[in-house]
């Protein structure tokens, strides 16, 4: 990734400063009536936006963390005490290492169990603070995070906490340092940002401010709009984290399940809108404790964090016109109108098998103009490209190497994707071979954007085909621990929303599945997360050369007619057992003659309310790639998850 993320972000900001539509222009600026300028009684220039991430959020040694954080594009880092204590260098050397990596040390944390003590315990707490101040001065960090106390001997009372903070502020100010006070959601007396703010307000010391953390506010279901009452210059730091909606002990939830903004269920956007609407102009920082991240490569987590933060800040910028910081303007989420093109790479030995499969599905091969041996197939709005690739023993074939999305502006889509940290793909201009208006997905596959300037498909060919009109969905198999990253990749780039994660039962283990869909349902992606190679999805991952599309579903308006045409062309569907149809007969009122035709064609069925879903599968081929044909009726929005275990068992019988 290199410094590509940050470079892209600032390049975008620069390139958009002239001649941009008002919709993407930063609104606050000299002369604008920003809250900041009103508070200060005069016009002030918006400050450049600063971003940071806490070292606890990612894996690795401190040096690995610093390198990954800088490469992803952050401007600052929060140093967690345990990372400093475990390192064998002095605080001065660590601070220098951060600055050498191009990072400001935004914060040192945490300082625990400070306020509310009496007598010797109180004196000891102040001694501890002085030692940390020594360390911070060596480190070159001017802000300390004090979290609200959980000490068993601490006494409550806002005034007592305020008096302790005022005394601490006096000591910090003598050294040119500042202290931010944060309400832990599980704090003994102070566990709500409104109480933390009241203690800070009463402390009334310029070196004492509040630190806000989205988890502590939203995790306790405290209305984030109450933050709007806090003056922006009294907020010393804003930390953001998301989390899935799980009912559990709030401390355990916080320490193990936080995730990147946009990956969970908390309304982090509303929180950050409130914080930034105060005129706050300090860093926006990620503080994420997550068990999965601890095992992932530091570069990956830093990259995902930066992606999440850029998308979040862009959402805030659009919703809150008067910010005191200059958040770069980037094009909005891409409205994908369709997923039109899928490109396979196939070795010489596997290309004929793919061609035969596409022919049996009713695709028409277009006259080739490519000099690289690439073949183009079309049916309805669907285009499939098959590109020869020299056989590489480690990589299975054929595999999907490119997805082409129909969009309004390919240039805007590439701009947003690269600002979010995706790597642009360079290739021959004017070709349709994936080199144009394209970026890499997290596994190095190609996501291409096709607008009206892109080469058009030939005339639609429904009559000669099997009635396949468009791509209904693609299902991408990914390692389970990368599911959140993939989901974030798509939801931060496209105007697409993610459904809940559901379990699919494979005889060899569980597969976790999450569907992503555009508002009109024209673009649907399914992410299947595999944990063990004993599942079909896990074996595909292990043998298929990485995370990519495992099954590709085409829509028809009449699946029985399509099934007849497929049979006439020699297409072989995945055989479903008789037990399945006996079960369907017991569960649903399907007319006997219809059920008989469905059984003959191996068509599966699901029903939710008035919505009906009919689908059939090809036999697996290559590394386990499968084609599916679906008919949706009555607004059915799912994917036939009820049939998944039966279908997976049938596939495993063919490819044990």
Strand pairing of 548-556 and 611-617? Answer: unpaired
Closest CA to 563 of 507, 618, 508: 618
Nearest approach, Cβ of residue 143 and Mg ion (Å): 13
H and E: helices and strands count for the chain: 21, 25
Q: How far is the CB of 250 from Mg ion (least distance, A)?
A: 13
Q: Which two tokens stand for residue 484?
A: 């959140």
- Closer of 350 and 628 to Mg ion (Cβ): 628
Complex with Mg ion: residue 216 or 389, whichever CB lies closer: 216
Scanning 373-381, 385-393, 431-439, 638-646 for contacts with Mg ion by CB under 5 A, the matching segment is 638-646
CB of 287 to Mg ion, least distance (A): 5
476 is a contact residue toward Mg ion (CB under 5 A): no
Only segment of 99-107, 328-336, 460-468, 551-559 that touches Mg ion (CB under 5 A): 551-559
For residue 501, with 0-12 CB atoms within 10 Å meaning exposed, 13-18 middle and 19 or more buried, which class applies? middle
Q: How far is the CB of 486 from Mg ion (least distance, A)?
A: 16
Find the helix packing angle between 62-72 and 298-319, rounded to 10°: 40
At 296, list the tokens.
């992932």
Q: Closest distance between Mg ion and the C-beta of residue 193, in Å?
A: 11
> Which residues lie below 8 Å from residue 600, measured CB to CB, with a gap of 6+?
none
State which residue, 304 or 628, has the beta carbon closest to Mg ion: 628
Listed ranges 64-72, 157-165, 299-307, 550-558: which one lies at the site for Mg ion (CB under 5 A): 550-558
Q: Which is nearer to Mg ion, 164 or 213 (CB)?
A: 213
Q: Binding Mg ion by CB under 5 A: which of 36, 142, 213, 304?
A: 213
Describe the chain by its helix, strand, coil percentages, rounded to 5.
35, 25, 40
By CB under 5 A, is residue 242 in contact with Mg ion?
Answer: no
Q: Kindly determine how many residues on this chain lie close enough to bind Mg ion according to the rule CB under 5 A.
A: 6
Helix (H) or strand (E) holding 597: helix 592-600
209 DSSP β-pair partners: 180
Which residue is at the shortest CB distance from Mg ion? 213
- State which residue, 164 or 628, has the beta carbon closest to Mg ion: 628
Q: How far is the CB of 55 from Mg ion (least distance, A)?
A: 13
Segment contacting Mg ion by CB under 5 A, of 456-464, 477-485, 548-556, 648-656: 548-556
In this chain, which stretch among 131-139, 185-193, 286-294, 530-538 interacts with Mg ion, using CB under 5 A?
286-294
Q: Concatenated DSSP letters for 291-323?
A: HHHHTS-HHHHHHHHHHHHHHHHHHHHHH-S--
The first and second tokens of residue 429, run together, are 């201009």
Q: What count of residues does the chain have?
A: 656
**Do 185 and 221 touch, CB atoms closer than 8 A?**
no
User: Judged by CB under 5 A, does residue 343 bind Mg ion?
Assistant: no
E strands in 287-429: 325-326, 338-346, 364-366, 375-379, 382-388, 399-406
Instruction: Decide: is 239 part of the binding site for Mg ion (CB under 5 A).
Output: yes
From residue 591 to residue 610, the character string flagging contacts with Mg ion as x (rule: CB under 5 A) and all else as - is --------------------
Distance of CA 307 to the CA centre of its chain: 7
Residue 287 touches Mg ion, criterion: CB under 5 A: yes
In the complex with Mg ion, the residue whose CB is nearer, 103 or 475, is: 475
- Binding positions for Mg ion, rule: CB under 5 A: 213, 239, 287, 553, 628, 639
């Amino acid at each position: 990734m290199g410094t590509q993320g940050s470079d892209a972000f600032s390049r975008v900001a620069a390139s958009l400063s002239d001649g941009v539509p008002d919709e993407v222009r930063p609104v606050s600026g000299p002369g604008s009536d920003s809250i900041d300028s009103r508070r200060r009684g005069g016009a002030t220039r918006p400050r450049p936006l600063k971003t940071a991430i806490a070292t606890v959020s990612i894996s690795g040694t401190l040096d690995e963390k610093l390198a990954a954080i800088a490469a992803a594009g952050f401007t600052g880092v929060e140093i967690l005490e345990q990372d400093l204590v475990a390192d064998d260098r002095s605080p001065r050397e660590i601070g220098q290492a951060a600055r050498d990596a191009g990072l400001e040390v935004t914060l040192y944390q945490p300082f625990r169990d400070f306020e509310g003590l009496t007598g010797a315990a109180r004196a000891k707490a102040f001694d501890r603070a002085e030692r940390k101040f020594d360390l911070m001065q060596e480190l070159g960090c001017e802000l300390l995070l004090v979290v609200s106390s959980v000490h068993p001997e601490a006494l409550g009372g806002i005034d007592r906490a305020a008096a302790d903070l005022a005394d601490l502020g006096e000591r910090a100010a003598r050294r040119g340092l500042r202290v931010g006070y944060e309400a832990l959601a599980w704090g003994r007396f102070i566990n709500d940002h409104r109480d933390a703010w009241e203690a800070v307000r009463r402390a009334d010391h310029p070196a004492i401010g509040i630190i806000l953390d989205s988890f502590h506010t939203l995790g306790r279901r405290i209305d984030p709009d109450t933050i709007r009452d806090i003056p922006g210059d009294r907020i010393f730091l804003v930390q953001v984290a998301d989390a899935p909606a799980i009912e559990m002990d709030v401390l355990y939830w916080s320490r193990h399940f936080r995730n990147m903004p946009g990956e969970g269920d908390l309304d982090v956007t509303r929180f950050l809108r409130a914080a930034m609407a105060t005129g706050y102009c300090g860093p926006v920082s990620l503080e994420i404790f997550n068990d999965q991240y601890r095992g992932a490569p530091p570069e990956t987590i830093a990259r995902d964090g930066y992606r999440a933060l850029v998308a979040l800040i862009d959402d805030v910028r659009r919703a809150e016109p008067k910010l005191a910081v200059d958040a770069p303007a980037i094009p909005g989420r891409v409205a994908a109108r369709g997923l039109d093109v899928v490109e396979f790479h196939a070795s010489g030995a596997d290309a004929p098998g793919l061609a035969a499969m596409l022919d049996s599905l009713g695709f028409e091969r277009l006259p080739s103009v490519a000099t690289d041996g690439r073949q183009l197939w079309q049916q309805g709005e669907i285009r499939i490209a098959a590109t020869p690739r020299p056989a590489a023993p480690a990589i299975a074939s054929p595999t999907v190497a490119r997805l082409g999305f129909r969009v309004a502006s390919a240039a805007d889509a590439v701009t947003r994707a690269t600002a979010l940290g995706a790597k642009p793909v360079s290739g021959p201009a004017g070709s349709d071979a994936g080199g144009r208006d394209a970026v890499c997905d997290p596994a190095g596959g190609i996501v291409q954007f096709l607008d009206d300037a892109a080469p058009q498909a030939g005339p639609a060919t429904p009559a000669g085909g099997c009635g396949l009109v468009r791509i209904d969905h693609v299902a991408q198999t990914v390692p389970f621990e990368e599911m959140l990253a993939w989901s974030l990749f798509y939801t931060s780039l496209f105007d697409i929303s993610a459904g809940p994660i559901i379990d699919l039962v494979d005889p060899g283990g569980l597969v976790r599945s999450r569907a992503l869909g555009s508002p009109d349902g024209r673009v649907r992606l399914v992410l299947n997360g595999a944990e063990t190679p004993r599942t079909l999805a896990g074996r595909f991952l292990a043998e298929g050369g990485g995370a990519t599309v495992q099954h590709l579903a085409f829509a028809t308006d009449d699946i029985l007619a399509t099934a007849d045409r497929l049979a006439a062309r020699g297409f072989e569907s995945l055989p479903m057992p008789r037990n399945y149809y006996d079960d369907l007969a017991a569960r649903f009122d399907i007319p006997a003659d219809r059920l008989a035709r469905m059984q003959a064609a191996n068509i599966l069925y699901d029903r939710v309310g008035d919505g009906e879903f009919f689908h059939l599968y090809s036999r697996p081929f290559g590394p386990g790639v499968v084609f599916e044909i679906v008919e949706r009726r009555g607004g059915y929005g799912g994917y036939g998850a009820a049939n998944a275990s039966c279908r997976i068992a049938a596939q495993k019988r063919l490819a044990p």
